[in-house]
Structure 1
Amino acid sequence: MASRLPLRVYFDLLSQPSRAVLIFLRRTGIPHVEKPVALRKGEQRSPEFTKLNPNQKVPVIVDNGFVLTESVAILKYLATKYDIPQFWYPVDSMQRAKVDEYMAWQHATVRYHASKVFILEVWTKKSF
């Protein structure tokens, strides 16, 4: 029998999508290994990380060799693969569609505009 590698999640806490994936993993109790990637140090541009995600962004998960990027795709994958309470991602198609609708909306509106503020107020001022 082949051994199963632990789920690895690559993240930076400065990244809202990373925080969403980490919160989900921690709250649902899905076993995982956390692999920090310091964006402010440019670690996402390393050759090793670029092999995982050529877009050089976090979060990324590696599940027994399967690599997945983009937080919404990661959240849906985890919710579908693991036995989690249905309130996270319902089985009912209409309820699930409403969750999908919200995730698409927040990613394209709230998160998009909030990230602009973060970049202008924090990232470009190099206040860390």
Structure 2
Amino acid sequence: MTTPESPIRLYRHPLSGHSHRVELFLSLLRLPFELVDIDLKNGAQRTPEFLSKNAFGQVPVIEDGDLTLADSNAILVYLATRYDPSGRWLPRDAVAAANVQRWLSVAAGRLFAGPGTARLANVFGIKLDHERARAIAVELFAVLDKHLATQRFLAGDAPTIADIAMYTYTAHAPEGGVSLDPYPHVRAWLARVEDLPGFVPMQRTLP
């Protein structure tokens, strides 16, 4: 496995699930990195300096040498392609790669629209449709639980970046008022991710 010439800089917020995806993957890859916290509450993401890194004013962003890259899933793909030539985390096989991409799309779509949004409404008091978000989360977790009843990880028997992308907002769903008790296979999968060497958690919050 290759390593960067200097530590990768990760611009993040400590309670951002999108940021945690990247921090978790950097840690699992054993890559050197440094964290730069962005004060979202006071608008640090809207400063000209930060907007020059991501014009959408969102975390996470990484700097790896001369490269500046935003969007958590894009960063996961970059890190897997650049620093894991074995293809463990992002398979090179067409069907396996497509299965990973499928779950990256779910992470960007229903995972955030459901448990991610419910958590935003519950923990941070943002005016969002909490009941709709909870309904999306319940529907998603029912599908996820059935899927995980027959395999250890989302795209097969080994972990990929699909698991990294889906982990955080699933694990923190109870903070949005979505119980994981009805989903034993989801809970077992979360435990398997947490058992991976190099795993780092995101801090818990209380509504």
Same fold flag (TM > 0.5): yes
Whole-Å separation in 2 of the counterparts to 1:30 and 1:18: 16
Whole-Å separation in 2 of the counterparts to 1:59 and 1:119: 17
How far residue 74 of structure 1 moved from its aligned partner, in angstroms, is 0.5
Whole-Å separation in 1 of the counterparts to 2:123 and 2:65: 36
Q: Please show how residues 1-128 of structure 1 align to structure 2 within 5 Å.
A: 4-83=5-84, 86-124=87-125
Q: Which runs of 5+ in 1 are unaligned?
A: none
Whole-Å separation in 2 of the counterparts to 1:49 and 1:96: 32
Find the structure with the greater CA-based Rg: 2
How far residue 85 of structure 1 moved from its aligned partner, in angstroms, is 5.4
TM-score w.r.t. structure 2 length?
0.54
Q: Which runs of 5+ in 2 are unaligned?
A: 127-205
Whole-Å separation in 1 of the counterparts to 2:113 and 2:66: 30
Q: How many residues align?
A: 124
Distance 1:95 1:63, change over 3 A: same
Moved more, 20-29 or 83-92: 83-92
Equivalent residues of 1:28, 1:84 under 8 A apart: no
TM-score w.r.t. structure 1 length?
0.84
Whole-Å separation in 2 of the counterparts to 1:106 and 1:7: 24
Deviating beyond 4 angstroms after TM superposition, the runs of 4 or more aligned structure 1 residues are none
Report SS of the residue matched to 1:68. Answer: strand
Report SS of the residue matched to 1:41. Answer: coil
How far residue 80 of structure 1 moved from its aligned partner, in angstroms, is 0.2
How far residue 90 of structure 1 moved from its aligned partner, in angstroms, is 1.4
C-alpha RMSD over aligned residues: 2.1
> 1:106 is matched by which residue type in structure 2?
A
Whole-Å separation in 2 of the counterparts to 1:85 and 1:27: 14
How far residue 46 of structure 1 moved from its aligned partner, in angstroms, is 2.2
> 1:35 is matched by which residue type in structure 2?
V
Equivalent residues of 2:7, 2:31 under 8 A apart: no
Report SS of the residue matched to 1:109. Answer: helix
